[in-house]
Amino acid sequence: MKRYIVLLRGINVGGNNKISMPELKKAFTELGFAEVSTYLNSGNVIFSSAIDDKNVLSNKIELMIKDRFDLDIPVFIVLQEKLEELLNNAPNWWGDDNKEIYDNLIFIMPPLSYEEFYNEIGNPKAEYEKVYHYKNVIFWSFSRKDYQKTNWWSKTASANVRKKITIRTANTVRKIVGM
Protein backbone atom coordinates (compact mmCIF):
# COMPACT_ATOMS: atom_id res chain seq x y z
CA MET A 1 0.00 0.00 0.00
CA LYS A 2 1.19 3.46 -0.88
CA ARG A 3 0.40 6.61 1.06
CA TYR A 4 -1.12 9.44 -0.98
CA ILE A 5 -2.06 13.03 -0.38
CA VAL A 6 -4.91 14.58 -2.34
CA LEU A 7 -5.33 18.34 -2.52
CA LEU A 8 -8.75 19.39 -3.74
CA ARG A 9 -8.75 22.81 -5.35
CA GLY A 10 -11.16 25.44 -4.07
CA ILE A 11 -13.02 23.44 -1.42
CA ASN A 12 -14.91 25.44 1.24
CA VAL A 13 -13.43 28.77 0.16
CA GLY A 14 -15.59 31.85 0.56
CA GLY A 15 -18.71 29.74 1.06
CA ASN A 16 -18.24 27.99 -2.29
CA ASN A 17 -17.82 24.29 -3.14
CA LYS A 18 -18.92 23.17 0.29
CA ILE A 19 -17.96 19.66 1.27
CA SER A 20 -18.14 18.27 4.78
CA MET A 21 -14.80 16.71 5.71
CA PRO A 22 -16.46 13.80 7.61
CA GLU A 23 -18.57 13.11 4.50
CA LEU A 24 -15.50 13.35 2.27
CA LYS A 25 -13.60 10.96 4.52
CA LYS A 26 -16.52 8.52 4.41
CA ALA A 27 -16.65 8.74 0.61
CA PHE A 28 -12.92 7.98 0.33
CA THR A 29 -13.36 4.97 2.60
CA GLU A 30 -16.28 3.76 0.47
CA LEU A 31 -13.99 3.94 -2.58
CA GLY A 32 -11.86 1.28 -0.85
CA PHE A 33 -9.06 3.53 0.39
CA ALA A 34 -7.51 2.77 3.78
CA GLU A 35 -6.25 4.91 6.66
CA VAL A 36 -8.21 7.93 5.40
CA SER A 37 -7.85 11.21 7.23
CA THR A 38 -8.50 14.85 6.41
CA TYR A 39 -6.77 17.98 7.60
CA LEU A 40 -8.47 21.34 8.01
CA ASN A 41 -11.59 22.16 6.05
CA SER A 42 -9.88 22.92 2.74
CA GLY A 43 -9.78 19.58 0.96
CA ASN A 44 -6.61 17.90 2.23
CA VAL A 45 -7.06 14.13 2.24
CA ILE A 46 -4.45 11.55 3.20
CA PHE A 47 -5.05 7.87 2.45
CA SER A 48 -3.45 4.55 1.57
CA SER A 49 -4.16 2.53 -1.57
CA ALA A 50 -2.81 -0.47 -3.42
CA ILE A 51 -3.51 1.36 -6.70
CA ASP A 52 -0.20 2.51 -8.15
CA ASP A 53 -1.52 4.87 -10.84
CA LYS A 54 -2.18 8.50 -9.92
CA ASN A 55 -4.36 9.01 -13.02
CA VAL A 56 -6.63 6.13 -12.02
CA LEU A 57 -6.84 7.47 -8.49
CA SER A 58 -7.54 11.03 -9.67
CA ASN A 59 -10.30 9.85 -12.00
CA LYS A 60 -11.94 7.79 -9.25
CA ILE A 61 -11.83 10.72 -6.83
CA GLU A 62 -13.10 13.28 -9.36
CA LEU A 63 -16.00 11.00 -10.33
CA MET A 64 -16.89 10.35 -6.70
CA ILE A 65 -16.92 14.09 -5.93
CA LYS A 66 -19.09 14.75 -8.99
CA ASP A 67 -21.52 11.94 -8.11
CA ARG A 68 -21.69 12.51 -4.37
CA PHE A 69 -21.30 16.29 -4.04
CA ASP A 70 -22.28 17.45 -7.55
CA LEU A 71 -19.03 19.41 -7.91
CA ASP A 72 -16.36 19.46 -10.60
CA ILE A 73 -13.24 19.80 -8.47
CA PRO A 74 -9.68 19.65 -9.79
CA VAL A 75 -7.65 17.03 -7.92
CA PHE A 76 -3.92 17.15 -7.27
CA ILE A 77 -2.52 13.86 -6.02
CA VAL A 78 1.00 13.13 -4.83
CA LEU A 79 2.71 10.27 -3.05
CA GLN A 80 3.43 11.23 0.52
CA GLU A 81 7.11 10.39 0.05
CA LYS A 82 7.28 12.61 -3.07
CA LEU A 83 5.78 15.54 -1.17
CA GLU A 84 8.37 15.01 1.53
CA GLU A 85 11.08 15.08 -1.15
CA LEU A 86 9.67 18.36 -2.51
CA LEU A 87 9.82 19.87 0.97
CA ASN A 88 13.40 18.67 1.38
CA ASN A 89 14.26 20.83 -1.64
CA ALA A 90 12.70 24.03 -0.36
CA PRO A 91 14.91 27.12 -0.45
CA ASN A 92 16.39 28.15 2.88
CA TRP A 93 14.24 31.33 3.06
CA TRP A 94 10.95 29.41 2.80
CA GLY A 95 8.93 28.15 5.72
CA ASP A 96 10.95 29.45 8.63
CA ASP A 97 9.44 30.73 11.89
CA ASN A 98 9.21 34.38 10.79
CA LYS A 99 5.57 35.29 11.51
CA GLU A 100 5.86 38.41 9.32
CA ILE A 101 6.30 36.26 6.22
CA TYR A 102 3.56 34.21 4.58
CA ASP A 103 4.99 31.02 3.05
CA ASN A 104 2.98 29.11 0.45
CA LEU A 105 3.49 26.15 -1.82
CA ILE A 106 1.84 26.41 -5.23
CA PHE A 107 1.08 23.02 -6.76
CA ILE A 108 0.95 23.06 -10.57
CA MET A 109 -1.65 20.60 -11.82
CA PRO A 110 -0.83 18.69 -15.00
CA PRO A 111 -0.89 19.37 -17.86
CA LEU A 112 -0.04 22.97 -16.86
CA SER A 113 3.70 23.61 -16.97
CA TYR A 114 5.72 26.02 -14.88
CA GLU A 115 6.53 28.01 -18.02
CA GLU A 116 2.84 28.42 -18.89
CA PHE A 117 2.05 29.44 -15.32
CA TYR A 118 4.91 31.94 -15.19
CA ASN A 119 4.09 33.41 -18.62
CA GLU A 120 0.57 34.18 -17.46
CA ILE A 121 1.30 35.35 -13.91
CA GLY A 122 4.46 37.28 -14.75
CA ASN A 123 7.49 38.23 -12.72
CA PRO A 124 7.21 38.45 -8.96
CA LYS A 125 7.99 41.83 -7.45
CA ALA A 126 11.40 41.11 -5.91
CA GLU A 127 10.97 43.73 -3.21
CA TYR A 128 7.80 42.04 -1.93
CA GLU A 129 7.89 38.36 -2.84
CA LYS A 130 10.25 35.48 -3.43
CA VAL A 131 9.67 32.45 -5.62
CA TYR A 132 11.56 29.26 -6.29
CA HIS A 133 10.43 26.62 -8.76
CA TYR A 134 11.18 22.94 -8.14
CA LYS A 135 9.57 20.20 -10.24
CA ASN A 136 5.79 20.77 -10.17
CA VAL A 137 5.70 23.19 -7.24
CA ILE A 138 6.61 26.80 -6.57
CA PHE A 139 7.78 27.95 -3.18
CA TRP A 140 6.32 31.44 -2.73
CA SER A 141 6.84 33.80 0.19
CA PHE A 142 5.86 37.39 0.85
CA SER A 143 5.48 39.89 3.64
CA ARG A 144 2.09 39.64 5.32
CA LYS A 145 1.79 43.42 5.57
CA ASP A 146 2.66 43.96 1.90
CA TYR A 147 0.72 41.12 0.28
CA GLN A 148 -1.41 43.55 -1.77
CA LYS A 149 1.75 44.98 -3.31
CA THR A 150 2.88 41.63 -4.68
CA ASN A 151 2.37 40.79 -8.32
CA TRP A 152 1.26 37.21 -7.68
CA TRP A 153 -1.34 37.65 -4.89
CA SER A 154 -4.23 38.85 -7.02
CA LYS A 155 -3.13 37.04 -10.16
CA THR A 156 -3.10 33.56 -8.62
CA ALA A 157 -6.78 34.15 -7.78
CA SER A 158 -7.87 35.76 -11.04
CA ALA A 159 -5.67 34.53 -13.91
CA ASN A 160 -6.77 31.84 -16.36
CA VAL A 161 -4.35 29.39 -14.71
CA ARG A 162 -6.04 29.72 -11.30
CA LYS A 163 -8.06 26.53 -11.83
CA LYS A 164 -4.88 24.64 -12.70
CA ILE A 165 -3.10 25.34 -9.42
CA THR A 166 -3.80 24.78 -5.77
CA ILE A 167 -2.02 26.54 -2.93
CA ARG A 168 -1.27 25.45 0.62
CA THR A 169 0.66 27.15 3.42
CA ALA A 170 4.00 25.82 4.60
CA ASN A 171 2.46 24.76 7.91
CA THR A 172 -0.36 22.85 6.21
CA VAL A 173 2.01 21.04 3.85
CA ARG A 174 4.33 20.08 6.69
CA LYS A 175 1.43 18.78 8.74
CA ILE A 176 -0.11 16.64 5.98
CA VAL A 177 3.23 15.17 4.92
CA GLY A 178 3.63 13.91 8.49
CA MET A 179 0.18 12.34 8.79
pLDDT mean over 7-28: 91
Q: Indicate the number of domains in the chain.
A: 2
pLDDT computed for residue 13 by the predictor: 80
pLDDT computed for residue 16 by the predictor: 84
Residue where one domain finishes, among candidates 26, 48, 83: 83
Domain range enclosing 43: 2-83
DSSP characters over 50-107: S---HHHHHHHHHHHHHHHH-----EEEEEHHHHHHHHHT--TTSS-S-TTEEEEEEE
Is 79 in the same domain as 95? no
Query: What confidence tier does 96 reach under pLDDT thresholds 50, 70, 90?
Result: confident
In angstroms, the CA 140 to CA 61 distance is 28
Amino acid at 94: W
Query: What confidence tier does 168 reach under pLDDT thresholds 50, 70, 90?
Result: very high
Residue 96 belongs to domain with CATH number? 3.30.70.1260
Is 153 in the same domain as 171? yes
Amino acid at 62: E
User: pLDDT of 73-90, one tens digit each?
Assistant: 999 999 999 999 999 999
Neighbours of 56 (CB within 10 A): 11
Is 99 in the same domain as 58? no
Is 67 in the same domain as 131? no
Is 98 in the same domain as 170? yes
In Å, what is the CA distance from 31 to each residue of 22, 35, 53, 93, 174?
14, 12, 15, 40, 26
- 3, pLDDT greater than 90: yes
User: pLDDT of 108-144, one tens digit each?
Assistant: 999 999 999 999 999 999 999 999 999 999 999 999 9
Is 77 in the same domain as 140? no
Please give the model's pTM, rounded to 2 decimal places: 0.94
Residue where one domain finishes, among candidates 37, 56, 83: 83
- 71, pLDDT greater than 90: yes
Is 99 in the same domain as 150? yes
Is 173 in the same domain as 103? yes
User: pLDDT of 148-163, one tens digit each?
Assistant: 999 999 899 888 999 8
Query: What confidence tier does 176 reach under pLDDT thresholds 50, 70, 90?
Result: very high
Residue where one domain finishes, among candidates 83, 111, 143: 83
Residue 60 belongs to domain with CATH number? 3.30.70.1280
- 14, pLDDT greater than 80: no
Is 106 in the same domain as 149? yes
In Å, what is the CA distance from 12 to each residue of 57, 152, 155?
22, 22, 20
